[in-house]
């Protein structure tokens, strides 16, 4: 096997207990892409575990702050890196006073969290040393040779220049393979839909949350007095918020059958909580009423046919059941 074949072999065959190895492979590939290569073939380049940790923390940040994905099969014992990232997120939210998810690159976590961030990096380096650096090279008890040199407990690995060049040259296909494998792993412990999109999001500059204004007219036709779906009171003296009853972080999609008017304050206080069955019952009834009203008005379009399909296929209840894990 040549180097790239070996690298792919590891990605395809490594164990499924958690997703660390995928984050490790992705970080090293990303670092290869950033290399300028002044060294000659035959030499090796030092990659510090700290530089890997800076990337790993970002992957878990994005997947957690937006989608709260599970990264291992054991609910009671989440991977340590995930717990570190969750603590960092909560420190970030405390410091900014906002629970609104932010992409890593716009969040300036390093500045906002300061010492907590430095500590998180240190802790992640420790986990990478103990659990990932040398284990990554072992498949079914055998070490794959010729990838990189790592002396146990050291702070860096040495990787031959020609290997890094290969990683850079094949990076597009490698990122796809790593993301695919990461998605496969997540499918084992997450019931959340659209996982491959949620994984791919790490690579994009922004998570596009589309404006919901286009749904106003539909919601308005069934609820012209603008009662808040969450507390039941009339929404006065403010623009109604449009709320996702099943959280957006779970569906990663805006669907009329899942959207309601709410007070701004009711909407922002609820964040990512899974709705009660009572609320689902009410929403089912609301959807039937809304479809009836829209039909009576003679309206026809994509959103209305999706609403009809969702009612016929019981989508709301199915997603509600599955998001409880
Ligand atoms: Zn309300």
From ligand 1's centre to the CA of 262, what distance in Å?
5
Please state the pTM of the whole predicted model. 0.80
- Helix segments in 35-79, DSSP class H: 49-67
From ligand 1's centre to the CA of 177, what distance in Å?
45
Residue 284 shares a structural domain with residue 194: no
The C-alpha atoms of residue 192 and residue 324 are separated, in whole angstroms, by 9
Mean pLDDT of the chain: 91
Q: How would residue 38 be classed by pLDDT, with cut points 50, 70 and 90?
A: confident
CA diameter of the chain: 75
pLDDT tens-digit readout, 272-303 = 778 999 999 999 999 999 999 999 999 999 99
Residue 46, helix vs strand vs coil: strand
From ligand 1's centre to the CA of 242, what distance in Å?
11
Domain final position from 162, 179, 203: 203
Does residue 208 lie within any of the structural domains?
no
Residue 186 shares a structural domain with residue 115: yes
pLDDT of res. 325: 62
From ligand 1's centre to the CA of 240, what distance in Å?
9
From ligand 1's centre to the CA of 261, what distance in Å?
9
The C-alpha atoms of residue 133 and residue 125 are separated, in whole angstroms, by 10
The C-alpha atoms of residue 64 and residue 81 are separated, in whole angstroms, by 11
Taking the C-alpha atoms of 248, 251, 254 and 259 in order, what is their torsion angle to the nearest 10 degrees?
A: -70
Residue 71 shares a structural domain with residue 121: yes
Domain final position from 133, 168, 203: 203
Residue 242, helix vs strand vs coil: strand
Residue 131 shares a structural domain with residue 181: yes
pLDDT of res. 206: 66
Range of the domain at 295: 213-322
**Least confident residue range of 88-97, 135-144, 200-209, 220-229:** 200-209
pLDDT of res. 133: 95
Residue 157 shares a structural domain with residue 273: no
From ligand 1's centre to the CA of 192, what distance in Å?
27
Residue 164 shares a structural domain with residue 274: no
Domain final position from 175, 203, 231: 203
From ligand 1's centre to the CA of 273, what distance in Å?
15
């Amino acid at each position: 096997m040549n180097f790239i074949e070996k690298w792919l072999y590891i990605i395809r065959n490594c164990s499924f207990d958690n997703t660390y190895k995928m984050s490790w492979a992705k970080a090293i590939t990303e670092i290869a892409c950033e290399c300028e290569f002044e060294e000659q073939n035959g030499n090796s380049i030092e990659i510090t575990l700290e530089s890997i940790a800076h990337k790993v923390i970002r992957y878990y940040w994005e997947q957690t702050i937006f989608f709260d994905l599970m990264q291992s099969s054991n609910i009671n014992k989440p991977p340590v890196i995930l717990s570190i990232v969750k603590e960092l997120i909560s420190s970030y939210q405390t410091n900014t006073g906002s629970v609104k998810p932010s992409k890593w690159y716009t969040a300036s976590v390093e500045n906002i969290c300061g010492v907590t961030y430095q500590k998180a990096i240190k802790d992640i380096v420790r986990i990478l040393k103990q659990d990932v650096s040398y284990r990554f090279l072992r498949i079914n008890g055998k070490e794959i040779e010729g990838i990189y040199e790592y002396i146990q407990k050291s702070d860096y690995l040495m990787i031959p220049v020609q290997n890094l060049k290969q990683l850079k040259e094949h990076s597009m296909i490698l990122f796809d393979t790593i993301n695919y494998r990461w998605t496969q792993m997540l499918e084992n412990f997450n019931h959340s839909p659209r996982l491959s999109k949620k994984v791919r999001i790490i690579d994009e500059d922004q998570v596009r949350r589309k404006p919901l204004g286009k749904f106003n007219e539909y919601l308005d036709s069934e609820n012209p007095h603008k009662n808040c779906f969450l507390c039941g009171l009339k929404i006065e003296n403010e623009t109604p918020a449009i709320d996702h009853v099943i959280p957006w972080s779970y569906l990663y999609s805006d669907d009329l059958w899942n959207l309601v008017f709410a007070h701004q304050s009711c909407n922002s206080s609820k964040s990512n909580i899974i709705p009660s069955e009572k609320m689902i019952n009410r929403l089912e009834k609301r959807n039937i009423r809304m479809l009836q009203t829209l039909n009576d008005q003679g309206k026809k379009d994509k959103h209305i046919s999706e609403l009809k399909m969702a009612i016929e296929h019981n989508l709301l209840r199915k997603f509600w059941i599955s998001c409880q894990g």
